[in-house]
Chains A and B, each alone.
Chain A
């Protein structure tokens, strides 16, 4: 194809079409940038890294939420590309939506490491011993770039804006599954609520659209199992992993001159 039409539903109301010449490897973001730079400088959309790691450019392309920087026009297979703002959120302007409710939900699940003794976490010079298999239990859920695509795709969010959302629950589970975390009880409490984990009905669209394979649907069901464990089995959480005691690194006070050192010996390695 040598020409494409970008049809943008600006602010969710006005449908505007832009004609562009197609270049090999063109992504939807490339098309939007070309529109703003050459045709219509008032087209507002978010973007930053253009490599699918910052999560700014989430928008609804051909009916499904995607990252514009990762969506090749050629894979969409059509000459008209329909772009809309992310569904389920308030539109501020053109393709820019309000992600504050999404961010607030994330903060509300206490997404940080909780230890019974906070000074162990903040004022110590030792490290936790964690085996690779134990990291593997939560690592997948830590890949979340907070793009909001899962939140936008979730049918429960469309119905119920007070629902925590797949991203928040997945992040709560990420910390529950972290062997260094001791906040299992608190998090189960936060999830075991009317608008918490019970509102998920496994539509799976969150995992379907996630650009980083965080698989929030899996995280939510695993979190639900934890909540059930607490409710029915009264199961106690497993103990957090121990601190490794090791010899602190020899760090001279700031300002002391370095001891004499033969750099040739270092270079011989």
Chain B
């Protein structure tokens, strides 16, 4: 079995969305944003914990953060985008998974085939959430990236 593993399986293979539907892309983004958020959660907990370790520890933490330069704000901007995307897409997924909404009803397939679960309602939800996330993300960027001189 070890000599003949499954062809193109594993983590990397599951995250390849090329050639597939847009919902597959949002699946990959949902995973990526989730990982970023977990990473941020750990880092944030560590940073805030330093407050209880005394003035010196806190000052050191802040100095380390500020030494990153523009990366600090850009990083926070990415985290903001991840939170926005993961939350909005998450609502769409809750509608799909818990209530069976946006999927359409069982129909009699008519050629040329177009599955209702990837049909008008689902696509509307995907693009609507993407639009809302983009707008809010760019707006967040106006605040977070103000000091960089880019915006």
Contacts and interface: CB of A to CB of B under 8 A. Distances in A.
Contact of B115 (A87, A213, A225): A213
A222 interface: yes
B7 A85 contact: yes
Q: Is the interface of B mostly helix, strand, loop or mixed?
A: loop
Contacts of A156: 14
Interface residues of A, number: 49
Given A158-B13, A202-B96, A205-B21, 4 more contacts: A202-B93, A217-B115, A218-B115, A221-B117
Contact-size category for B: 35 or more
A64 B8 CA distance: 12
Contacts, number: 138
Contacts of A90: 4-7
Contact of A177 (B23, B100, B106): B106
B27 A202 contact: yes
A204 interface: yes
A136 interface: yes
Interface of A: 12, 62-64, 84-91, 97, 136-141, 143, 153, 155-159, 161, 177, 200-205, 207-208, 210-215, 217-218, 221-222, 224-225, 228
A218 B4 CA distance: 33
Interface string B98-115: 111001101111000111
Contacts of A97: 7
Given A139-B108, A140-B106, A217 B7 contact: no
B15 interface: yes
